[in-house]
Amino acid sequence: MDAICQDLAAEHAALDAVVADIDEERWTVQTPADGWDVKDTIVHLIQADVAARIAVSDAEAFEEAKSKMAAGKGLGVFGTSEGKSGEEILSWWRDERQQMLDLFLARGPRERIPWFGPDMSTLSFATARLMETWSHGQDIADTVGEPWPATDRIKHVCHIGFTTRGWSYIVRGMDFPGGDVRVELTAPSGALWKWGPDDASDIITGSAEEWALVATQRRHPSTTQLSATGPLAEEWLSIAQAFAGGPTLPAEDRV
């Protein structure tokens, strides 16, 4: 838990640096995520962090909040941006994310946490929070024109991308073809990361950053240098989706 929480805290800090000095006007610029401006995006992260804090600390209260959501009240049950400036949103996020991290660190990695879908281990939960922070951070960096350099922390995102191959089919109502696909990625540090059997004939290779961007639907596969060999690899690369929710695919002109 120490290691994943350190990486999650570092991801928080990286995104914090992107928004810390932007003016109020840029807080309201629309991101590539349809209907969300920068403020909406940070508030979405906050709401998920608040929900995580409640789920970890008071499962009964979380189930009550989840019921309110099911009744049509939306994520607003975990707080809203109404009447808040960008600076106030940033302060709110800093407070909530630290509370969440403190609670994660106080738990064992295999302890279960209730969530909106199946419950998750603390370790998986923290990893999912990192993936969401990183991917929404890309949206914001793209929007405000700030750099978003890749680090080896994206290995967590790449791993989720690999383990959700089956989900990429389920979410689209497609039959899962089975079979093995190997993924070999070059890390930002230059290391080689591998998933899947060494003898698999289907393989996806390329940049770890580009795989993470494709798996989180931040880049269309056609805009990357990723290579897919074999029909299983080609099909998976075309639909890879590492997160829950409805099926999506970014526009080919998103850069």
Of 84, 114, 144, which residue is a domain's last?
144
Prediction pTM value: 0.93
Q: How confident is the model over 221-249, as a mean pLDDT?
A: 94
Is 39 among the domain residues? yes
Is 186 among the domain residues? yes
Is 214 among the domain residues? yes
Q: For 199-233, how does the pLDDT look when each residue is reduced to its tens digit (9 = 90+)? A: 999 999 999 999 999 999 999 999 999 999 999 99
Q: Tokens 């409640």 sit at which residue?
A: 54
Residue 7: the pLDDT is 98
Do residue 202 and residue 234 come from a single domain? yes
Do residue 121 and residue 209 come from a single domain? no
Query: Where residue 180 sits, what CATH number does that domain have?
Result: 3.30.1050
255 pLDDT more than 70: no
Do residue 100 and residue 9 come from a single domain? yes
Report which of 252, 245, 247 is spatially closest to residue 223, judged by C-alpha positions: 252
Do residue 9 and residue 110 come from a single domain? yes
Query: Where residue 76 sits, what CATH number does that domain have?
Result: 1.20.120.450
Is 144 within 8 Å of 18 (Cβ atoms)?
A: yes
Q: Where residue 156 falls among pLDDT bands split at 50, 70, 90? A: very high
Of 144, 169, 196, which residue is a domain's last?
144
Tell me the residue range of the domain where 170 lies: 154-239
Q: For 57-109, how does the pLDDT look when each residue is reduced to its tens digit (9 = 90+)? A: 999 999 999 888 878 767 678 888 888 999 999 999 999 999 999 999 999 99
Do residue 138 and residue 159 come from a single domain? no
Is 250 among the domain residues? no
Please count the structural domains in the chain: 2
Helix (H) or strand (E) holding 228: strand 227-229
Q: How confident is the model over 48-61, as a mean pLDDT?
A: 94
Do residue 112 and residue 13 come from a single domain? yes
Q: Tokens 């990286």 sit at which residue?
A: 14
